[in-house]
Structure 1
Amino acid sequence: MSLENGIKDVINTKLKDGTVEKLIGEQLEKGVVNALDNLFRSYGDVTKIIEEKVKSVMIPYLEGYDYSRYITKLDSVLVDVLQSSALENKKLLENFKELMIPEQDKTIKATELFERWKEYVEGNVETDGLEVCYEDGPPTYEYVSVSFEVDYNEERSWSDMRNAVLVFECEHDSEMNYQIRIHNWKKFDKEEWTIDYKSVHDINSLRHLDEFAIFLMKISQNGTKLILDSDGDSDEIEPEEKPEASFS
């Protein structure tokens, strides 16, 4: 018997007793398992489909969830973290905590926002270069001039969109100055203006924000509308920082 005929006989025998069919079945099973394994891997097609379905259900639920009941718990947790964290993270966590407390007001007047900004200036204005007053009690720094105005953009006559910039300005310390873009759709918004204050996308940037910036972020993300009850005003504020008494 030739080698070729011998091979044929063996194959015929294995085909008849079901060996080949069994082996083919085993390999097909392995192939299906491997294919499913690949589909369910991190970047597999099935995994992507499942991920999209989970997102479509979970994200709207999380966005609409009322987290206010957890604010007290969050506050205590953050206090513990602040007490044990490094100093460089303290400002970041304080700002994060402030952002998590929802803003209740649906509208705010321009004059009210001006008052809020003045409080910020009183506590943070640079006192170098200010004269010291010694009359009527302990020494104080001289008053600082502040103002606000609404700078309206020139619009097309056919446009229903109005744009403006709300400018808060401190004459003595330009670091206190703020420009806040606002816009209004006359047809739909009536006299309410939308605050276009850009939020921070990198959480590490929170450590560098002052309290007025955090407040603007809160009312902007809360959808609080601005009422322009005035196009401008001016005032004088007294710095909170007190000079050391000098007897020279």
Structure 2
Amino acid sequence: MNLEKNIKDVIAQQLENGIVENLISEQLKQGVSKALEDLFSSYGGEARKVIENKLKSVIVPYLETYDYSEYITKLDHVLVETIKEASFDNRKLLENFKNLMIEEKEKTMKLSDLFEKWKEYVAKKVETDGLEVEFDDGPEYEAVEVRVEVERNEDRSWSIFEHATIFFECEHDEKMNFEVPISLYKRDEQWDLQYRSNKELKSLRHLNDFEILLMRLSQNSVKIDLDIEYEDDEVTPNEEPEPTFG
């Protein structure tokens, strides 16, 4: 009887101290916290989606219309200084990033001008193994044959778009070759360039100069004027033959 009485006294005392209310309050807090956690969870949380959509509706248009030219100028200075101190691999990555950030002032480029840019790239990078050495104007490698050609797709007659591909080809060195998809809204006169490449930061060190140019034209929405649809030419490599001594 004394034991039972002691138990009752302890229970009565704890009830008077508010332990039940405290326990209920604690569990309620945990329940609300868990419910909110689930509500804002990154895995389909409804509240998170609502907040995210509201933020996008306000922030994204602001970011799209903001003038970043002042910051790009500052960034250019920072990158130049960083490039000077970087290792070779990182220097190439930073140089490519710097060139990719250049703003294209002209909103249209003629295909003939783009062809000239590609020929400059070929002259710098074309493989010279297997080329004859000529001595007409001093020792130099023989020229390689290059061409640009526009191949139009067979689109539906009812479509409001036309599609085509620009092919830059060098028979001697296929690594120089590029194919660039373009499209035309039939009410426009110039074509949209749609060059896509791997845009991960780590891939920038592996991109060549012409790829960077194409990516920059594409991201700046530069239109292509098809002033030519086929042209061939010859390009003399910039690399000079090693001197030989008889």
Please report the TM-score for the alignment, with normalisation by the length of structure 1: 0.82
**Any residues of structure 2 matched to 1:80-229 within 5 Å, and which?**
80-136=81-137, 138-186=138-186, 188=187, 190-229=188-227
**Any residues of structure 2 matched to 1:4-19 within 5 Å, and which?**
19=17
Q: Which amino acid aligns with 2:59?
A: M
**Any residues of structure 2 matched to 1:3-82 within 5 Å, and which?**
19=17, 22-35=18-31, 37-38=33-34, 39=36, 43=41, 48=48, 52=52, 53-82=54-83
| 1:231 matched residue in structure 2 | 229
Pairwise CA RMSD: 3.0
Please say if residues 110 and 228 of structure 1, whose CA atoms lie closer than 8 Å, have aligned partners that are also in contact: yes
Please say if residues 191 and 228 of structure 1, whose CA atoms lie closer than 8 Å, have aligned partners that are also in contact: no
How many angstroms apart in 1 are the aligned matches of 2:129 and 2:96? 27
Distance 1:66-1:32 versus aligned 2 partners, 3 A rule = farther
Q: Gaps spanning 5+ residues in structure 1: where?
A: none
Distance 1:36-1:55 versus aligned 2 partners, 3 A rule = farther
Distance 1:236-1:68 versus aligned 2 partners, 3 A rule = same
Please say if residues 194 and 225 of structure 1, whose CA atoms lie closer than 8 Å, have aligned partners that are also in contact: yes
SS at match of 2:128: coil
Q: Which amino acid aligns with 1:72?
A: T
Structure 1 residues 78-87 or 97-106, which shifts more? 78-87
Please say if residues 121 and 176 of structure 1, whose CA atoms lie closer than 8 Å, have aligned partners that are also in contact: yes
Distance 1:35-1:81 versus aligned 2 partners, 3 A rule = farther
SS at match of 1:31: helix
Please report the TM-score for the alignment, with normalisation by the length of structure 2: 0.83
Q: Gaps spanning 5+ residues in structure 2: where?
A: none
How many angstroms apart in 2 are the aligned matches of 1:198 and 1:160? 23
Distance 1:47-1:91 versus aligned 2 partners, 3 A rule = farther
Give the length in aligned residue pairs.
241
